[in-house]
């Protein structure tokens, strides 16, 4: 059974703190993604990665960075958390295998910045 896990379900941080959100997949997928989900705005892509040490900006990368040192792990970093980064963060992974484009999502991390 495919699995994407995220390090925390709920996280509360203070303004200005550096925040790390971790995502691990056990499917040997090449692609990994970080999304942000807000009511009425759907899922918005923050960053994605096609391979180890590679990253691409998504639609809303400002205030975030990412790290992919190992194929199975993709980290989202908030360099200096702000209240407008309070949100649900979803990680996903997918294969580049021919004919298989499904993205598998983790359960999400609800981050509150106070």
Partner 1 sequence: GENVEQHPSTLSVQEGDSAVIKCTYSDSASNYFPWYKQELGKGPQLIIDIRSNVGEKKDQRIAVTLNKTAKHFSLHITETQPEDSAVYFCAASKGQAGTALIFGKGTTLSVSS
Record the tokens describing residue 96, joined without a space. 């580049």
What's the CA gap between 22 and 76, in Å, rounded?
A: 7
Q: Which stretch binds partner 1 (CB under 8 A): 10-18, 51-59, 65-73, 78-86?
A: 51-59
43 is a site residue for partner 1 (CB under 8 A): yes
Residue list 68-107, contact with partner 1 (CB under 8 A):
90, 92, 94, 96, 101-103, 105-107
11 is a site residue for partner 1 (CB under 8 A): no
Q: Which of 1, 10, 28, 40 binds partner 1 (CB under 8 A)?
A: 40
Query: Coil, strand, or helix at residue 96?
Result: coil
Q: Which of 7, 11, 58, 61 binds partner 1 (CB under 8 A)?
A: 58
What's the CA gap between 34 and 43, in Å, rounded?
A: 10
64 is a site residue for partner 1 (CB under 8 A): no
Contacts of 92 (CB under 8 A, 6+ apart): 4, 32, 33, 35, 103, 104, 105, 106
Residue among 58 and 63 whose Cβ is closer to partner 1: 58
């Amino acid at each position: 059974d495919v699995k994407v896990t995220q390090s925390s379900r709920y996280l509360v941080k203070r303004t200005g703190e550096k925040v790390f959100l971790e995502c691990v997949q056990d499917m040997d997928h090449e692609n990994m993604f970080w999304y942000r989900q807000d009511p009425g705005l759907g899922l918005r892509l923050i960053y994605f990665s096609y391979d180890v040490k590679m990253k691409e900006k998504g639609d809303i990368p400002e205030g975030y960075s990412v790290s992919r040192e190992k194929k199975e792990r993709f980290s989202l970093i908030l360099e200096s958390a702000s209240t407008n980064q309070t949100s649900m963060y979803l990680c996903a992974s997918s294969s580049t295998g021919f004919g298989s484009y499904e993205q598998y999502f983790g359960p999400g991390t609800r981050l509150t910045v106070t």
